[in-house]
Structure 1
Amino acid sequence: MRRIPVILLLSLLAAPLGAETLTISPVTLTEWKAIYGQVDTRDRVPARARIGGTVDTLSITEGDRVEAGQPLAVITDDKLQFQIDALNSRLDALNSQLATARADMERGRQLLDRGVITTQRFDALQTQVDVLEGEIAGTRSEKLVVERQIEEGRVLAPEAGIVLDVPVSRGSVITPGEAVAEIGGGGVFMRIAVPERFSAALSEGDTIQIEAGDGLREGRLAKLYPLITGGRLQADIEVEGLDARFIGRRVPVRLPVGERQALLVPQSAVSQTGGLDFVMIEDNGAALRHVVVLGQDIMRDGTLWREVLSGLAPGDIVVTGNE
C-alpha cells in the first residue's frame, strides 16, 4: 500500500466553508539600520575664569541646574587688593597736594590783585592745580580698572542648563581663560553618529525608532550636521519625554535607510505543525495548506503581520480566518 507523506496530506485538508480571505500583494517596508544613540545636550559651553587666581568660593557640583548669569564661583587674587591699597594711598597723597596747590593758587590770586606777583607766576600756580586734578582723575580710573578686575573674579553661568563637569575644586589655582565648569544647555536630544554611506538616505523630519525600556518609541530627526568626521555624520533626534537625568547614556536606535518590497500575511493566517509554518490559500475553489518560510514580525495599525520569505507569490488568496 502506497504511503502519502504527512506534509502532502496536510496540504490537502480543506478550509472551512465561509472563511475570510485576503489577496496578498507586495507592500513597501522600511529598511532600518540599528545603531546606538547618546543622550546629550545641544550645546556644551564652558564657564571660564576671566582672571587668574585662587578659587575662593565654589557653589556648584555636577548635576546642578543653573540659570544664565548665575554665580558659579569666586576667584580671588591678593595682588589686586594690594593694587587697590596702593592706589588709595596715592589718591590720599594727591588730594593733599591738590589742597595745598589750591590754597597757593588762592593766595596767588590775592597777590596778583595787589600787583605783588606777575600773571605768569599765577598761571604756574593754576597749572599745578590742573596737573594734580588730572593725576587724581587718572588714578581713579586705574582704581576702577582694578575694581573691575576684582568683580570679574565672579564666574557666571554662560547659559541656562545642567552642570556636566566641574574640573576644579575650592583652593585650586587657575589661569585666565581656564574652565571652571562645563554647562550643557539648549535642550536635551538623542545624538547619533551615522555611517556616511547612509547619509544620503536621511533627511530632517524622518521618523526614528528608539528602543526604550517600555518598548519602541518614535522620535524625529531634528538636525543633520553638515560636517562628516571620521566617516560618520552627526545628527540630533527630538524625543518627547526623553529622560535627561544621565547625559551620555547610550540607547539603541533604528534609522530608516531604505525601502524594500515584501509579502505580508496576518498572524491569524499562520499555523504551525511539526515545527513547520503553514498558510492556507484558496486555489480554484479549494483550500490548500502551503509550507512557508517566515521572516520578521511587522506591526501595522495595531495588528501583527508576518513577512513571508518563500512559499507564496503575489496574487495568492490567503485564508485568514472563519466568519
Structure 2
Amino acid sequence: MRARIILLSAILAAQTASADVVTVSEEAIVEWKAVYGQVETRDRVPARARIGGTIVSLEVAEGDRVEAGQRIALVEDDKLAFQLDSIDARLEALRARLETASADLERGRQLLERGVISTQRLDQLQTAVDVIEGDIRSLESERLVIEQQVAEGEVLSPDAGVVLSVPISRGSVIAPGEPVAVIAGGGVFLRLAVPERHARDLAEGDEIEIGSGSDDAAERRTGRLVKLYPQIAGGRVEADVEVEGLDGRYVGLRVPVRLPVGERMAILVPETALTRHGGLDFVNVETAGGEAIARAVVPGETISRDGETWREILTGLEAGDRVVTENE
C-alpha cells in the first residue's frame, strides 16, 4: 500500500473566459489510522558486574555518552586482596624451602661423586626440589586467577551509546551479574503498538506519516515500516518504523503517527470550487447546455496533494459531473 494519497482521477479541464471546468470521478483515497509511536533504541544492553563487591568508583550518569569498552564503574572485593596476601606469604615460604632443597641437592651431587651417598638418596633430594617447584607454579597460577578477578572489577560498557539508567550508587554492594548501568546504542527507531484489527492491512515496506497529519508539508515526515512482530499482546501488534533523522535525545518519547490501513472510493473537488451561503456549501455544476447551476453538497475531510487543497464531497455530486472552479 502506498503511503501517499493515490488520486486516480482523470481530470479533464476546459478553459473558459472566467472559470475552469473539472470533470469529477470516484478516486481511491487512503484510510489513515492515528496512533502513537515511541522512540526506542535498537540495542539496550546492561553493563553487568563480573564480580561481587562494593562500588568504589562510578564514572557515568544518566544521559552520558560512552564508547564500547569504556570503564563506567569499579567494583572491589576486600577478600581478593586478603587472598593475594595469603598466596604471597605461601610463595615466600615455598621459595625459602626451594632454596634449602636446591642447596641439599647440590651437596648430594657432590657427595655422590665421592661415594658418600647412594643414587637413591640423590633421587629423593631431586624429587623434593621438583615438588616444591610444582607447588610454586600452582600458587603462581592461583595468584593469576585472583589477579584476573581483581581486574574484572572494572565494569566496562558493552557498546557505544547513551546511558539510560544507573540503578546503583557509589558505595552500593552488588552481586556478580547485577547491572550497573543500561546502555542504549545502535541508532533509534519508532516502535508502534497497532490495534490487531488493522494488522492485516499493514505490510513491511509501507510508508508511514510522522506527525498529526497537518496540511503543512514542512511539518510532514515519512518513515518506512521495517518489521511487524508476529505475536499479538493485549490486542495490539508491535511494529518498527525507520525514520531518517529521528531525534534520539529522548528514548521513550511518544510521536504521533498515521498508518495506512485501507482504501475507499470518494469524489474530490478543488477547494476553490466550494462556496458557502446561508450556512450551506455549494459547487457550480455545468449542465449539458453549458450553463452553471449551484448545487448544495456536503463536504468531508480536506486532503492535500502536491501543495493543492482538495475536499471530499460526501453527497451532492456524482461521477461524471462537470464542476466549475474559480480562476485564481
Fold shared per TM-score above 0.5:
yes
Structure 1 counterpart of 2:276, from 272, 279, 287 = 272
CA apart distance, 1:220: 1.3
Partner amino acid for 1:304? T
Aligned residue among 314, 319, 323 for 2:324: 319
Corresponding residue for residue 301 of structure 1? 306
Give the fraction of aligned pairs with identical amino acids, expressed as a percent. 61
Whether 1:27 and 2:24 are equivalent positions in the alignment is no
What is residue 259 of structure 1 aligned with on the other side?
263
Question: Which digits, 9 at most, give the CA deviation of each residue in 1:19-58, with x for residues without a partner?
Answer: 2111111111111111111111122111110100000100
Shift of 1:273: 1.2
TM-score, normalised on structure 2?
Answer: 0.91
SS at match of 1:237: strand
Q: Distance in 2 between matches of 1:24 and 1:269?
A: 12
Correspondence 1:232 to 2:236? yes
Mean Cα deviation higher: 187-196 or 69-78: 187-196
Q: CA deviation at 1:18?
A: 4.9
Task: After superposing the two structures, state which structure 1 stretch, 304-313 or 226-235, moved more.
Answer: 226-235
- Aligned residue identity for 2:259: L
2:220 alignment partner, SS class: strand
Whichever residue aligns with residue 280 of structure 1, its letter is N
Q: Report how far residue 230 of structure 1 moved.
A: 2.5
SS of alignment partner, residue 116 of structure 1: coil
| Distance in 2 (alpha carbons) for counterparts of 1:64 and 1:227 | 34
Deviates more, 1:292-301 or 1:235-244: 235-244
1:1-323 matched pairs, under 5 angstroms: 18-211=18-211, 215-284=219-288, 285-322=290-327
Alpha-carbon distance between aligned partners in 1 of 2:66 and 2:54, rounded to the nearest angstrom = 22
- Separation in structure 2 between the aligned mates of residue 231 and residue 167 of structure 1, nearest angstrom: 32
Q: Residue by residue, what CA displacement relative to the aligned partner does 1:208-252 show, whole Å, maximum 9, x if unpaired?
A: 111179632211112222333222221111122222221111111
Identify the residue that residue 9 of structure 1 maps to in structure 2. none
Structure 1 spans left out of the alignment, 5+ residues: 1-15
Question: Deviations 1:81-131 (Å, cap 9, x if unpaired)?
Answer: 110111111111111111111111111111111111111111111011111
- Aligned partner letter, 1:269: A
Distance 1:48 1:226 in 2: 31
Shift of 1:301: 1.4
Checking the alignment, whether the CA contact within 8 Å between 2:286 and 2:323 is kept in structure 1 is yes
Report the Cα distance in structure 2 between the residues aligned to 1:233 and 1:93, rounded to whole angstroms.
Answer: 68
Which runs of 5 or more residues in structure 2 are unaligned?
Answer: 1-15
Question: Which amino acid in 1 is paired with 2:142?
Answer: E
Whether the 8 Å CA contact 2:18–2:326 is kept in 1: the answer is no
The worse-fitting range, judged by mean Cα deviation, of 218-227 and 178-187 is 218-227
Deviation at 1:17, TM superposition (A): 5.2
Question: For residues 224 and 95 of structure 2, what CA distance do their matches in structure 1 show?
Answer: 69
TM-score (structure 1 length as normaliser): 0.92
- Please list the CA deviations of residues 274-309 of structure 1 after superposition, one character each: whole Å capped at 9, or x if unmatched: 121111111111111111111111011111100111
Q: CA offsets per residue over residues 125-184 of structure 1, 9 Å max, x none?
A: 101111111111110110000000011110011111110000000000001110000111
